[in-house]
């Protein structure tokens, strides 16, 4: 995994797992990698993964079955979508709008770019 120096590693792990849920690479009831497995896979301290899993558990995306490990929660897809949407609206969009203003890109231009993107990626 390539790390972004501007964001805490445990949050980047959270983002990765949320993206896996949103892309339905993991589904409700699936067992998550153990703390040690994920730590070895992404080459971080297991405490970093514990912190990531703790946040995902508090957000209702993972749940812990004592002695068995972490699992993807029943409503993880909805929770992940809601969390990602909130982050996008509160953190990403303000930066996009600021850049649009600086570059004098209108909402109409943005809509046109979005349509082009959809055509290329569909």
What is the percentage of the chain residues whose pLDDT exceeds 70? 100
> Residue 1: is its pLDDT beyond 90?
no
pLDDT per residue over 21-76, tens digit each? 999 999 999 999 999 999 999 999 999 999 999 999 999 999 999 999 999 999 99
pLDDT at 2: 85
Whole-Å CA distances, 91 to 38, 83, 100: 27, 12, 15
What residues contact residue 80 under an 8 Å CB cut-off, 6+ apart? 18, 21, 22, 61
Across the chain, mean pLDDT equals 96
> Residue 8: is its pLDDT beyond 90?
yes
What residues contact residue 83 under an 8 Å CB cut-off, 6+ apart? 18, 59, 61
Q: What structural domains does the chain harbor?
A: 1-122 (1.10.10.10)
- pLDDT band of 122, cuts 50, 70, 90: confident
């Amino acid at each position: 995994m390539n790390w972004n120096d501007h964001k805490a590693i445990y949050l980047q792990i959270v983002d990765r797992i949320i993206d896996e849920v949103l892309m339905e690479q993991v589904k409700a009831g699936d067992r998550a990698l153990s703390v040690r497995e994920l730590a070895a896979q992404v080459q971080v301290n297991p405490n970093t993964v514990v912190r990531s899993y703790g946040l995902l558990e508090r957000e209702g995306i993972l749940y812990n079955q004592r002695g068995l490990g972490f699992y993807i929660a029943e409503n993880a897809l909805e929770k992940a979508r809601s969390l990602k949407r909130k982050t996008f609206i509160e953190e990403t969009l303000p930066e996009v709008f600021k850049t649009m203003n600086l570059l004098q890109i209108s909402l109409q231009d943005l809509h046109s770019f979005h349509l082009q993107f959809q055509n290329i990626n569909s």
